[in-house]
Structure 1
């Protein structure tokens, strides 16, 4: 069999990726985003990464620092266009809000097997080379590489934007020793122009400048990555968000072009769309594991999840939740106990719901 030319191989790779559910593909040299390292260092110097110390790993500067033999980066977008309104639970303080991306199965578990299949196909077609696949699991700056590969551009909220898919894309990466022709998505590039809707929408003011997010104020960071107590001044701003936040993504005007639905493997579970806080606060470890089996939510564990639910209860203005809150004041986990006491004090004072 004749080894295909680079251009022909990339074109066929696009077709194979589409069959596996990827809606955007970009190919670029592995060193195609040299400016990203300087931006990362400036961001780290301000401490905006909070406790995410893995962001400091020097390999993040360039893929070749992690794998010297790499030649090409292939970036792929996987759709998670919401089936439900991200703002569906506004004005419903009795329920908790889980980010739309986490309403179904864990995207890592859905995407990685498909990326591995694609990588095997690529190497078989090329007849040579090596490849490695990644889904948020290595020190790679996927978003700058995706922009360099022509999938889209980084918006003012720092997430990737596409003319065809808005910002509802998960990113996966295949790094390979093959030298492939650069290729991007037709019509994927665009601009935020003068729009600042995402900045204005952030409940905690975490987008401190266009394209710059202070993770220490970001609700997604606070409810997922942050392990300790949330600063008391920020707790009311969490509202009823118990896992992640979609606000800056949901208001982006480019989403009106996001017509490709989420992959069926990511279908939301009905019980997670508007779960009652009272029910969630009664979960034990076994109940938590069963309810969130194969879900991204499972990664934070029961105790951090309870902390988040207690903050939401404290923000609800509903004293009837006191019965579900008070038992946690004696929890052996100091962070959970603190959250329970804070929530109980607010509910006993009968404040109105936080906004």
Structure 2
């Protein structure tokens, strides 16, 4: 290739990237960057360390997809470039303030709105279509739907850097950035990678109520409240029930405390804005949801995927932490719920709020018919 041809190819590449950026902005993405597919040769070592340390807890899919997760080429051998996009979903105000009101059912910021997988994937396909038309190259779109290590690739693409809490941080969005990836066989001009800018700050590590960070930039899911309230399928371990407070889905503490955050209507995108009825949900109302009303209330949000039984499990933990005896009738009602998860947490919540006479009466009725050993164990502890 002659020098003239090289210059022309570079100019064409820059023009294409500019067109992609313009289209991405029109689609509602706040940032776009490009990384070579081989930009992070350190990923296999990092992944192996996390899995060997057991930090993935019971998320067996991480181990099962280890081989494909290690690099973009392991997932698709023809990939040459990775286009990373970010969508700012920042809240209007600091969600930490909601933890002080035990009457609220605190849902993580990202889950207060329409499921980002549904919102972003269609937009990403639009952008990928433009890329395919302009280059004739193959494209594949991923929004947390395949074993892609999005955060390291986003850092390589210049969207931000992984903070000490392991979440991607952005100058503009702070900790509140949804990510999407387009793998392509096209060889695109790479963006400058972003360098880590956390300095000596450890606020995100210090605020964690369960000490889930064994070291900066490392998260142990076995101690993480977000993991237990969203991914965990069993009873909440006893040592984490008190620290859960009124968190009924996820935990934003390490994100919200970061000094890079901005709280001022970060997005005008209605589909990525919090639904007030979820943001301001009362714990008493959540305890009264049956399965149908749960599905209706959380329609099209990440919370719906949790299922009503696990959500009630979390709400009963919040009730037990509330100190509010007005929840006792709802708690007692759930002692006969069809799910052992719900019954077990109802036992724990009742024993936290009821006096000894009330608890003994419910205990006698429950143990007379309770078949589940874990629920029975909650009464006898």
- Is the counterpart of residue 18 in structure 1 residue 25 in structure 2? yes
Q: Distance in 2 between matches of 1:256 and 1:22?
A: 17
Task: Report the structure number with the largest CA radius of gyration.
Answer: 2
Match of 1:353 in 2: none
Report the Cα distance in structure 1 between the residues aligned to 2:98 and 2:261, rounded to whole angstroms. 20
Partners of 1:194 and 1:349 in 2: CA distance: 48
Q: Is 2:141 aligned against 1:133?
A: yes
Tell me the distance in 2 between the aligned counterparts of 1:75 and 1:304. Answer: 33
Q: CA deviation at 1:184?
A: 4.2
Tell me, what secondary structure is at the counterpart of 1:211? coil
1:254-333 alignment, distance < 5 Å: 254-256=260-262, 260-261=266-267, 263-333=269-339
SS in 2 for 1:206: coil
Displacement after TM superposition at 1:216 (Å): 1.4
What is the Cα deviation at residue 41 of structure 1? Answer: 0.8
Partner of 1:69: 78
Q: Within the alignment, does 1:40 sit opposite 2:47 as a pair?
A: yes
Question: For the residues of structure 1 that align with 2:34 and 2:197, how far apart are their CA atoms?
Answer: 21
What corresponds to 1:170 in structure 2?
A: 178
Report the Cα offset of residue 257 of structure 1.
8.8
Which one of the candidate residues 119, 126, 130 is aligned to 1:117? 126
TM superposition score normalised by structure 1: 0.93
Is contact 2:104–2:280 with CA below 8 Å preserved after alignment?
A: yes
TM-score (norm 2): 0.87
Contact 1:82 1:262 survives alignment (8 Å): no
When residues 120 and 140 of structure 1 are mapped into structure 2, their CA distance, relative to the original with a 3 A threshold, is same
Q: 2:91·2:263 contact (CA, 8 Å) conserved in 1?
A: no
1:84 aligns with 2:93: yes
Does the residue aligned with 2:237 lie in a helix, a strand or coil?
coil
- Partners of 2:34 and 2:190 within 8 A in 1: yes
Q: Is contact 1:22-1:79 (8 Å) kept? A: yes
Tell me if structure 1 keeps the 8 A contact 2:143–2:181.
yes
What is the CA deviation profile of residues 301-331 of structure 1, one whole-angstrom value per residue up to 9, with x for unaligned ones? Answer: 1011000000000110111101111111122
Cα RMSD (Å) of the superposition? 1.8
Out of 227, 230, 235, the position equivalent to 1:229 is 235
Answer 1 or 2: higher relative contact order, Cα 8 Å, separation at least 6: 1
SS at match of 2:307: helix
Which consecutive residues of structure 2, in runs of 5 or more, have no partner in the other structure? 1-7, 357-381
> How far apart in 2 are the matches of 1:291 and 1:244?
17
Structure 2 distance, partners of 1:259, 1:33, is 34
Check the 8 A contact 1:79/1:262 in 2, yes or no: no
- Partner Cα separation in structure 2 for residue 17 and residue 237 of structure 1: 40
1:247 maps to which residue?
253
Identify, as 1 or 2, the structure richer in helix.
Answer: 2
In 1, Cα distance between equivalents of 2:268 and 2:185: 31
Aligned partner of residue 77 in structure 1, secondary structure? strand
In the alignment, the residues of structure 2 paired with residue 84 and residue 167 of structure 1 have an alpha-carbon distance, to the nearest angstrom, of: 13
Q: Is the 8 A contact 1:31 1:63 kept in 2?
A: yes
Find the residue that maps to 1:144 and give its secondary structure. Answer: helix
Q: Which runs of 5+ in 1 are unaligned?
A: 351-355
Whether 1:183 and 2:191 are equivalent positions in the alignment is yes
Cα deviation digits, residues 206-234 of structure 1 (max 9, x gap): 12210011111111111101110111011
Query: Greater shift after overlay, 151-160 or 86-95?
Result: 86-95
1:210 and 2:216 are equivalent in the alignment: yes
Is residue 165–residue 258 contact of structure 1 (8 Å, CA) maintained in 2?
A: no
